[in-house]
Amino acid sequence: MRLHLGCRLSFQLPSATPMILLLNVHHSRASDLERPDLLTTDPAVPIENYRDGFGNWCCRLSAPAGRFTVSTDGIIRDPGLSDLKDHAAAQVEIGKLPSEVLTFLLPSRYCETDLLSDFAWKQFGDTRAGWPRVQAVCDFVHDHVTFGYQHARATRTAAETLNEGVGVCRDYTHLAITLCRCLNIPARYCTGYVSDIGQEPPFPPMDFAAWMEVYLGGAWWVFDPRNNDIRFGRVLVARGRDAADVPLTHGFGEHRLTDFAVWIEQQDGASQT
């Protein structure tokens, strides 16, 4: 299937402000782009592109004072399959993990493994290692946390999410990642698009989503503790240790978001978000 995707973000800035933006489809899906989702700005400004330490495509620019809008719009070909699963995927012993995977076992800004280790082992130590244990983590987080945009807080950590029991998709993801790392399962944070294809209406307003990838059986697998169901049309934008590594926008100065829109829909019109 063909998916039409993109976003538009407008800011009000009191003065010129340097910014870094991670809004483009991840390079691993570049060959699927029928029409690249190039970043454009209004007013137009020079854009410098680079890859960060995790391989994400970043756009660097200086936003002028006043109203400033950034947008992307593209078409991507997608096989139309749900997230791949392998219920037999086993946990890999730490001594046998590839070196590049080890960083996703360590604590990070929003994932305090030192605070949640005892809880994780008490809660999940008796579950079967491998895929069933990760699914048990996702089931727990999905049931424990109440979703609501009114609960959004940019500084909320995994431990705070566990204690407060509320949050948005990034909070679900941070908590699940932290519990997996406590159980010696490498897990990394992902952000991108998730369509409503195959879901029952009414559809909520579209937004960028967060989920995690977990290393089992020598491969990375998608788990989505917020939705915890079958999803189609998932398109990665960026991945890192947690949300601190992959902010969609980062401004080095005062900037106020005044307009925000995200879209991903099936281009042939058979099913739309």
- The vertex-46 CA angle with 45 and 47, nearest 5°, equals 115
User: Tell me, what's the pLDDT at 103?
Assistant: 97
Confidence class for position 273, pLDDT limits 50, 70, 90: very low
User: Tell me, what's the pLDDT at 203?
Assistant: 85
Tens digit of pLDDT for each residue in 145-154?
999 999 999 9
Count of all residues that appear for the chain in the document:
273
Tens digit of pLDDT for each residue in 158-183?
999 999 999 999 999 999 999 999 99
Under 8 Å between Cβ of 28 and 44: no
Whether pLDDT at 202 is above 90: no
User: Tell me, what's the pLDDT at 25?
Assistant: 97
Phi, psi (rounded to 5 degrees) for 117: -60, -50
Look at residue 115 and give its three-state secondary structure. helix
User: Tell me, what's the pLDDT at 150?
Assistant: 92
Q: In what order do the strands lie in the sheet with 57-63?
A: 48-51, 57-63, 17-21, 249-251
User: Tell me, what's the pLDDT at 268?
Assistant: 72
Report the half-sphere exposure of 14 (CA within 13 A, side-chain side). Answer: 3
Coarse DSSP helix, strand, coil percentages of the chain, rounded to the nearest 5 percent: 25, 35, 40
Tens digit of pLDDT for each residue in 110-123?
999 999 999 999 99
Whether pLDDT at 266 is above 50: yes
Mean pLDDT value across residues 12-35: 97
